[in-house]
Structure 1
């Protein structure tokens, strides 16, 4: 099997924006691909060009440049340029793309190189996700979850484990929560939600059909629907009321990149903490009660075992 791999960009490239462009290219039309190719070849051009000048250089209209910016996750040309400038600022502080940013590794790379590459990719995923989080939206979702009658979480395949983890956390602090990965059961639950319910759909690509169907059904039933995805232009995001967008820096040999899941787990963890803050007294009481309930099923530490053995002597 022959695999086509793009040549790694030089150090001066704006890596975050470049990754966004490359990740959306399979979905782009011919004119959008023309802009993408121009920007990949001239990554610093927007730093010095107005939107009109960039449009002229790439052979499109200014309105098309604006649409392109929206496709890759920006509201317009200005925030696109701001992010680009930030990326270039970060790039100048690095010794090299290869050692500090990471790359798709090869069969002859040493174990330390593979470790460093993977670590940098996962770290960058978390940093880029943190950069694009809308805290006001997160707090709005957290408040809705805290006062909800029920929370449904939909995730299929690899996203199912994230749904299960979030379900367990919310349930432990007193939020009635169910996670669904099987579409028939999920649709049944989604159909009986209402205005006092919240439904979360988790999908890295935002194109998992079962998750889209379950989230849409919950929306039709009146629930507040929330998409968690790496793709702001996906059908899942289009089907939701609110969206939490995550980021994945690199794709390696994994069929389902774990760095993307770490970005999603990061926002779910943050959302959980915001929910916990909404009713802190209830949260602490529930956590304490559940910890006490499972304590007898945990083996004591060595120090604890020694103290229990020694206690009769002291009596």
Structure 2
């Protein structure tokens, strides 16, 4: 049951008194969850039978069932139930997105664990093979970007965005393998399961995630990123800029750890691209 959708009355099914009750409920969920039917009726200036009819109109069996359904709403976060009103001109949106990206990078710079970055880069460069595990959107993009950055430096790497496959890859990992993981929340049970399996098999792991999280606890080398999420649910998370910056830092460190190998691989890729594309070696490495 989507009680919030019903309370929002997007279909226009509620009467005038019911709309009044719905507004009161959305404005003070905690009060309603902890009040009696008489207390709610008194605050809304309606009769208890009106409250009962209101609850049934929303698809609940009665007031008690209504409170149970209402109590479940905050679990998804009230910012998703009652989004903040945001201005949305192109100028304002551009300013908001760019400012948040700059702030994410500034905060990342202040909290970077340089020793963890150095240790992670040495593990990645020394690996015979690298698996990169991520899922659920942002982390899928992050591990795919690690793949994109490291293969051109001569690393043997594969990224995977499927938890079931990750478990199988973890079970099959051979000595010399290093596994990299990404989790923005740090609470991805699928990734935790893979990391715990890898630890039992003595396969080194590196993760980017929140500190003091289940994912962090299950990994060997942890690069922590702890940034506030903000309340605008419509704006893409600016935290991903911080994650991509860490990927670039790791890739640069990996390149410097074996400059000859990295330069040789980059040169071979560039020669092929220039020959097949337009003969202009000033363009980016790739497209």
Q: Using structure 2 for the length normalisation, give the TM-score.
A: 0.63
Alpha-carbon offset, residue 166 of structure 1: 0.6
CA separation of 1:211/1:152 partners in 2, compared to 1, >3 Å: closer, same or farther?
same
Secondary structure (helix, strand or coil) at the match of 1:199 reads strand
Q: Using structure 1 for the length normalisation, give the TM-score.
A: 0.58
**1:203-242 deviation per Cα after TM superposition (whole angstroms, max 9, x unaligned):** 100112222222222222211111211x211110010111
What is the CA RMSD across the aligned residues, in angstroms? 2.4
Give the equivalent residue in structure 2 for 1:225: 205
Q: Quick check: 1:152–1:179 contact (8 Å CA) kept in 2?
A: yes
Q: Quick check: 1:195–1:224 contact (8 Å CA) kept in 2?
A: no
Give the equivalent residue in structure 2 for 1:283: 262
CA separation of 1:227/1:288 partners in 2, compared to 1, >3 Å: closer, same or farther?
same
Q: Distance in 2 between matches of 1:252 and 1:114?
A: 15
Q: Quick check: 1:237–1:243 contact (8 Å CA) kept in 2?
A: yes
Choose 1 or 2 for highest CA Rg.
2
Within 5 Å, give how 1:156-167 maps onto structure 2.
Answer: 156-158=135-137, 159-167=139-147
Matched, 1:216 2:196: yes
Q: Quick check: 1:200–1:215 contact (8 Å CA) kept in 2?
A: no
CA separation of 1:284/1:248 partners in 2, compared to 1, >3 Å: closer, same or farther?
same
Give the equivalent residue in structure 2 for 1:271: 250
Q: Distance in 1 between matches of 2:234 and 2:196?
A: 27
Q: 2:150 aligns with which of 147, 170, 193?
A: 170
Q: Distance in 2 between matches of 1:212 and 1:242?
A: 14
Q: Distance in 2 between matches of 1:294 and 1:111?
A: 36
Q: Distance in 1 between matches of 2:145 and 2:215?
A: 21
Q: Quick check: 1:173–1:286 contact (8 Å CA) kept in 2?
A: yes
CA separation of 1:134/1:214 partners in 2, compared to 1, >3 Å: closer, same or farther?
same
Q: Distance in 2 between matches of 1:257 and 1:224?
A: 32
Give the equivalent residue in structure 1 for 2:223: 244
Q: Distance in 2 between matches of 1:225 and 1:242?
A: 6
Unaligned runs of 5+ in 1: 3-103, 302-315
Give the equivalent residue in structure 1 for 2:177: 197
Unaligned runs of 5+ in 2: 6-82, 281-287
Q: 1:111 aligns with which of 83, 86, 90?
A: 90
Secondary structure (helix, strand or coil) at the match of 1:207 reads coil
**1:169-206 deviation per Cα after TM superposition (whole angstroms, max 9, x unaligned):** 21121111111111222112112325522111101001
Give the equivalent residue in structure 2 for 1:295: 274
